[in-house]
Copies of this chain bind each other. A is one copy, B any other.
Amino acid sequence: MSNLATATRFEFQKDRVLRAAARCFNQKGFSGTSLKDVANELGLTDPALYHYVRNKEELVYLCYVRAADLGREAMDMAIKKGGSGFDVVVNYLTYHVEMMVGERGPIAIMSEIPSLNPEHREEILEVSREHSRRFEELLQAGIDDGSVATCNVRMTGNAIMGAMNWIPKWYRGDAGTAREMIEQYPATLVRGLAAG
């Protein structure tokens, strides 16, 4: 196998590890999840995970980096697709929900940032703040172009992000609900946000 292919396989396996970890962390929390839990989910034993991450803390950290990347990707796609400010908001939420309930999921909710070491914590807090900031910008852009009703963007942003972040707590991966989620959840979140 070539170096490239080796790297690819390694990265692929690592991504499986991160998704399995995300699933566990979302349900039982960082410290409530043992490495054995994560390994079992993949048919491995715990020491095998150390081939992919330095330690448990790094595992969460990487889950959060991945979560941040996917969130940013969803937002970038929505922005690139264009449309009114309102459209961009709805599209972003839809892409993000699709990722959460689709085959790229689950995505770790960043609910235990305090468990990270100081450097990682600061980095994740930063990207997390950045994401909130950008979302509020989207809302503001919508207000400015007249597609979104005037509102407190900070409050509205927190409310919508909270509703998004809570999804992994109750969504249990059945296909029927997944479709329903994608079709209805974003619309539910922005009901009342349309101007006029």
Binding site for B on A (CB under 8 A): 27-32, 111-112, 114-115, 149, 151-152, 155-156, 158-167, 169-170, 180, 184-185, 188-194
Name the residue of chain B whose CB is nearest to the CB of A171.
B158
What is the oligomeric copy number?
A: 2
Name the residue of chain B whose CB is nearest to the CB of A191.
B192
Chain B residues within an 8 Å CB radius of A158: 163, 166-167, 170, 185
Chain B residues within an 8 Å CB radius of A185: 155, 158-159
A162 to B169 Cα, complex, angstroms: 9
A33 to B66 Cα, complex, angstroms: 25
A163 to B158 Cα, complex, angstroms: 8
Chain B residues within an 8 Å CB radius of A191: 149, 151, 192-193
Q: Is the CB of A184 within 8 A of B111?
A: no
A151 to B189 Cα, complex, angstroms: 12
Known contacts A151-B191, A193-B191: A115-B159 contact under CB 8 Å: no
A85 to B165 Cα, complex, angstroms: 27
A164 to B130 Cα, complex, angstroms: 22
Least distance between A62 CB and chain B CB atoms (Å): 18
Question: Can you offer 15 A-B residue contacts whose CB atoms are under 8 A?
Answer: A29-B30, A29-B32, A29-B111, A30-B31, A30-B32, A111-B111, A151-B188, A158-B166, A158-B170, A158-B185, A162-B162, A162-B165, A162-B170, A191-B192, A192-B194
Chain B residues within an 8 Å CB radius of A163: 158-160, 162-163, 166
Most chain B CB within 10 A, of A160, A167, A180, A192, is at: A192
A3 to B156 Cα, complex, angstroms: 50
Chain B residues within an 8 Å CB radius of A159: 163, 185, 188-189
